[in-house]
């Protein structure tokens, strides 16, 4: 973890760094009154995006058609993108070059070309490389996340790139809301700092949490991959639902651990020495 920017990198898990511990709060927890939403159901290693109610996954290297066939085997397609927000979410899954489900049957690419998404959805978002694609043959489209402003560009359909798969999420109804709880007081151990957004206590590199040494050092976080970078997990088994990968990350292959320095960066060496932040759940007492 980068102590200045709050973003993550991967590095050798055997390196010595400051760290954050997280423990389960085993104290009795009263019920709460909330507006309960249905659970969203995405397959393992897929990521849910609420705005589209869809699941996303970055495949291995494929040609455009092989990528579409691979996504279809899961009941999806190469992804259609309909807003800058959805495009940014796609780059949180893999920040690099990705096949999309956009294509044309036209023989020449012009500003009048008819484009289609493989999932049949409306074509309403086309952030082309200025001002539109040049008059060349390749009819398949990639999302380039390697620019300051991510754009669509066409490429040879036989080139191999990672593919972004997209499929609708399933929903599971939940029961009605439970009764309200009694009032409680949140506490941390002496020397630990409470963060309301996560309802957790932190200790380690400084009382300022991630801001340490002016960001001059990497910092370990509890993120790792045990399947060569295909998917990532937190050591406390919490959902991996916050991703800000640096360009070209996450990498694939090797023993991968995450640390943060400016943005996510991957490494196959988990033995490096870095700073760290500890995290644990805050405990509550009934007032």
Q: Is the pTM of this model over 0.75?
A: no
Q: Is there a domain that residue 73 lies in?
A: yes
Mean pLDDT confidence for 255-274: 69
Would you say residue 162 has pLDDT above 90? Answer: yes
Domain encompassing residue 241: 1-36+182-287
Q: What is the CATH number of the domain that holds 157?
A: 3.10.100.10
266 and 192 housed in the same domain: yes
Please determine, for residue 263, whether its predicted confidence score (pLDDT) is greater than 70.
Answer: no
Split at pLDDT 50, 70, 90, the class of 35 is very low
Is position 254 within any domain? yes
Residue 103 has a pLDDT of 92
Residue 177 lies in a domain: no
State how many domains the chain has.
2
> In this predicted structure, what is the pLDDT of residue 211?
40
State residue 261's pLDDT score: 67
User: CB of 9 within 8 A of CB of 272?
Assistant: no
The verdict on 92 and 158 lying in the same domain is yes
Report the pLDDT value the prediction gives residue 176, as an integer from 0 to 100: 60
User: Do 78 and 101 sit in the same domain of this protein?
Assistant: yes
Residue 187 lies in a domain: yes
Tell which residue, 221, 267, 257, has the closest CA to residue 242. 221
Average pLDDT over residues 86-98: 91
- Range of lowest pLDDT (4-8, 75-79, 201-205): 4-8
Mean pLDDT, to the nearest integer, of 12-17?
Answer: 71
**HSE of 265, CA atoms in CB hemisphere, 13 A:** 16
Contact 144, 247 (CB under 8 A): no
For residue 147, being part of any structural domain is answered with: yes
Query: Would you say residue 209 has pLDDT above 80?
Result: no
Average pLDDT, the chain: 77
Nearest to 200 by CA among 182, 183, 191, 187: 187
8 and 80 assigned to the same domain: no
- 153 and 74 inside one domain: yes
| Same domain assignment for residues 140 and 209 | no
């Amino acid at each position: 973890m980068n102590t200045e920017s709050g973003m993550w990198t991967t590095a050798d898990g055997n390196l010595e760094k400051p760290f954050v511990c997280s423990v389960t709060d085993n104290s009795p927890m009263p019920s709460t009154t909330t507006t309960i939403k249905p659970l969203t159901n995405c397959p393992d290693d897929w990521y849910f995006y609420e705005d589209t109610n869809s699941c996303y996954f970055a495949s291995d290297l494929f040609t455009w058609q092989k990528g579409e066939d691979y996504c279809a085997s899961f009941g999806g397609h190469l992804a259609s993108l309909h807003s800058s927000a959805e495009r940014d979410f796609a780059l949180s899954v893999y920040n690099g070059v990705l096949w999309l489900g956009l294509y044309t049957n036209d023989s020449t690419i012009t500003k009048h070309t008819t484009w289609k998404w493989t999932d049949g959805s409306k074509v309403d978002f086309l952030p082309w490389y200025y001002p539109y694609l040049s008059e060349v043959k390749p009819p398949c489209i990639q999302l380039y996340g390697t620019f300051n402003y991510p754009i669509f560009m066409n490429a040879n359909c036989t080139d191999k790139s990672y593919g972004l798969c997209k499929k609708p999420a399933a929903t599971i109804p939940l029961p009605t809301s439970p009764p309200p709880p009694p009032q409680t007081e949140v506490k941390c151990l002496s020397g630990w700092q409470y963060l309301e957004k996560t309802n957790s206590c932190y200790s380690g590199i400084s009382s300022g949490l991630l801001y340490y040494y002016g960001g001059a050092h990497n910092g370990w976080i509890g993120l790792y991959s045990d399947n060569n970078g295909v998917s990532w997990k937190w050591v406390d088994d919490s959902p991996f639902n916050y991703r800000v990968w640096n360009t070209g990350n996450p990498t694939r292959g090797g023993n991968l651990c995450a640390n943060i320095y400016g943005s996510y960066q991957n490494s196959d060496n988990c033995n490096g020495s870095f700073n760290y932040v500890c995290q644990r759940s805050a405990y509550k007492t009934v007032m």
